[in-house]
Amino acid sequence: MKRSPFLSLSRDYLIFALAVGVLLVITGITTGVVIQYANKNQLYQQSIIESKNIHQNLANIFTSTNLIMSNMGHQIQKHGTIDSSFIYELFQQNSRDIISAKAAFSWSLFDWVDTQNRQIINSKTGITSHPKDMSMREYTTKSRALPWTLQFSKPAIGHPSKQWVIPAGTGITDYAGNYLGVIVVGFNIVDLVNSITRNLIYPNIRYIVIDNQGRVVLQSSDNAFSPTTNFFNFLSPTYFAKPMKILNKPLTIAGNSYLYYEKMENYPFIVLTGFKESYLLETYTALLLPRLLELLICGLFILILLFLFYRKIVSPILILAQRADALSRGKTDIDIPLIKTQEMWSLTKALIRVRWYIKTERALRSQLELTNQKLKQISLDKSNLVSLTSHELRGPLTVVDANAQIIKQQIYGPVPPKYLECVDDIHEASQELTQFVDDLLDEMKAEAGFYPIEIGRVNIHAIIHRAIKLNIGRAHRSHITFHEELEDNLPRIVGDAKRIRQVLNNLISNAIKYSPEFSTVTIGCRYLKNGEIEMSVSDQGFGMTPEDIEIAISPYGTIQNPNSSKVESTGLGLPLSKMIIEQHGAEFFIESTKWKGTTVRIIFPKDKVF
- Predicted pLDDT at 301: 81
Average pLDDT, the chain: 82
- Predicted pLDDT at 565: 40
Over range 464-493, report the average pLDDT.
Answer: 93
CATH number 3.30.565.10 is the correct assignment for the domain at 452-608: yes
**Is the model's pLDDT at 589 over the cut of 60?**
yes
- Predicted pLDDT at 157: 84
Percent of the chain scoring above 90 in pLDDT: 36
Backbone angles phi, psi at 4, to 5 degrees: -70, 135
Residues in CB range of 496: below 8 A, 6 or more apart: 453, 454, 455, 456, 458, 580, 584
- Worst-scoring range by mean pLDDT, 87-96, 546-555, 556-565? 556-565
- Predicted pLDDT at 493: 96
- Worst-scoring range by mean pLDDT, 331-340, 397-406, 492-501, 550-559? 331-340
Confidence class for position 359, pLDDT limits 50, 70, 90: confident
- Predicted pLDDT at 338: 65
Helix (H) or strand (E) holding 262: strand 256-263
268-284: pLDDT as tens digits = 999 999 888 777 777 77
- Predicted pLDDT at 530: 94
Residues in CB range of 301: below 8 A, 6 or more apart: none
Whole-prediction pTM: 0.48
Higher pLDDT, 572 or 422: 422
114-173: pLDDT as tens digits = 999 999 999 888 998 889 999 999 999 999 999 999 999 988 887 766 788 899 999 999
Distance CA 380, CA 383 (A): 5
Distance CA 603, CA 582 (A): 10
Higher pLDDT, 394 or 35: 35
Over range 523-531, report the average pLDDT.
Answer: 95
Higher pLDDT, 20 or 482: 482
Tell me the β-bridge partners of 164.
157
Confidence class for position 462, pLDDT limits 50, 70, 90: very high
Q: Read off the DSSP letter of residue 216.
A: E
**Is the model's pLDDT at 230 over the cut of 70?**
no
Q: Are 89 and 75 in contact (CB under 8 A)?
A: no
- Predicted pLDDT at 1: 44
Q: Are 490 and 525 in contact (CB under 8 A)?
A: yes
87-120: pLDDT as tens digits = 999 998 888 777 655 556 777 789 999 999 999 9
Q: Are 332 and 354 in contact (CB under 8 A)?
A: no
Pick from 305-319, 402-416, 461-475 the range whose average pLDDT is largest: 461-475
Over range 474-482, report the average pLDDT.
Answer: 92
362-385: pLDDT as tens digits = 778 888 888 878 777 766 666 666
- Predicted pLDDT at 228: 64
Whether 16-318 and 452-608 share one fold: the answer is no
- Predicted pLDDT at 294: 81
- Predicted pLDDT at 564: 45
Which of 159, 158, 165 is closest to 131 using CA atoms?
159
**Is the model's pLDDT at 449 over the cut of 60?**
no
CATH pick for 16-318 out of 3.30.1360.200, 3.30.450.20, 1.25.10.10, 1.10.10.410:
3.30.450.20
Tell me the β-bridge partners of 481.
520
**Is the model's pLDDT at 302 over the cut of 90?**
no
Confidence class for position 174, pLDDT limits 50, 70, 90: very high
Confidence class for position 566, pLDDT limits 50, 70, 90: very low
**Is the model's pLDDT at 567 over the cut of 50?**
no
- Predicted pLDDT at 407: 82
Q: What is the DSSP string of 436-479?
A: HHHHHHHHHHHHHT------EEE-HHHHHHHHHHHHHHHHHHTT
- Predicted pLDDT at 16: 75
Helix (H) or strand (E) holding 72: helix 5-79
Over range 522-529, report the average pLDDT.
Answer: 96
Domain ranges within the chain, ordered by starting residue = 16-318, 336-451, 452-608
Q: What is the CA radius of gyration of the chain?
A: 55
Confidence class for position 422, pLDDT limits 50, 70, 90: confident
State the CB neighbour count (10 A cutoff) for residue 598.
Answer: 25
Pick from 55-69, 191-205, 405-419 the range whose average pLDDT is largest: 55-69
Distance CA 575, CA 563 (A): 24
Pick from 108-122, 233-247, 515-529 the range whose average pLDDT is largest: 515-529
- Predicted pLDDT at 609: 94
- Predicted pLDDT at 522: 98
- Predicted pLDDT at 369: 83
- Predicted pLDDT at 242: 84
**Is the model's pLDDT at 571 over the cut of 60?**
no
Q: Are 179 and 238 in contact (CB under 8 A)?
A: no
- Predicted pLDDT at 22: 82
